Amino acid sequence: MGLFDGKKGIVLGVANDNSIAWAVAKFLMDEGALCGFTHLPDRPDDERQRNRRRVSQLTDTYPNHAKFLLPLDVCKDEDLQSVMKTAGETLGKLDFVVHSIAYAGMDDLKRDTIDTSREGFKTAMEISAYSLLAVAREARPYLNNPASIVTMTYFGGEKAVPGYNVMGICKAALDSCVKYLAFDLGPQGVWVNAVSAGPVRTLAGRAAGVDDMLSLYEKMAPMQRNITHEEVGRSAAFLLSDLSNGITGEILHVDAGYNVMGSPGRLLDEVKLGG
């Protein structure tokens, strides 16, 4: 018996095999879940359909568990409605939704936060924060009672992390969306939580300067190491499972303890030795 035998849901945000969303999906399907997937829409002139192909190469390895793959632009309500309609027709009532979607333009990520463009801010906030509200709203008629929603956040929404810039503001908004959705959907038996992962190498992570954070986390975190994709996947799966049905509106930190530190910790020893 798998933890997710008989469970069905959708996974939004897989881009490639390094995506956190894929780590979550793999665990779910290995434990028996049936999943629907989405991918970034391909440009009309892209005959190779690169975005779809990257994801289909992954989902094709789970032919008995990956039930559909559709394009999704979270800025378009009609796309969301189409995905949820297909999910309902293909899977029936949904037991879980994985939201792993964020975006900010490179020009804005590279700027100091104060220099974020107006349009860049709007785009980043719509895709990275508002999309969770939109996904939950369109999914609500298709959700089981009980059901679970999990999104992916980062410590840069709680504290200022230089280099994370406008995305940190978006994550702060996302964290708040989690709490308000927990209240709105609680009477329907839906619990809503977020996983705050430490730095891992992903397509989005590289854009946000994750490589520079890895050595810092390894030295400062109580466990003196970085976390893995698999650890994030297992933790998200816990929040999606019936094991967590008394938890809602929470942010679960999977960062080897980095978030509890109020000083550089053992990194101070290196500073003293160097000084």
β-strand 251-254 against 190-197: which pairing, if any?
parallel
- Measured distance CA(16)–CA(218) in Å, rounded: 25
- The length of the chain, given as a count of residues: 275
Token output for 38 = 């989405």
Q: Which residues are catalytic?
A: 154, 164
Question: Are the beta carbons of 24 and 56 closer than 8 angstroms?
Answer: no
Cβ burial 196-233 (10 Å sphere, 16+ → b, else e)? bbbbbebebbebbbbeebeeebbbbbeeeebbebebbb
Q: In one letter, which amino acid is 172?
A: A
In three-state secondary structure terms, 253 is strand
In three-state secondary structure terms, 47 is coil
Question: Are the beta carbons of 52 and 60 closer than 8 angstroms?
Answer: no
DSSP string of 182-234? HHHHGGGTEEEEEEEE-----HHHHHTTHHHHHHHHHHHSTTSS---HHHHHH
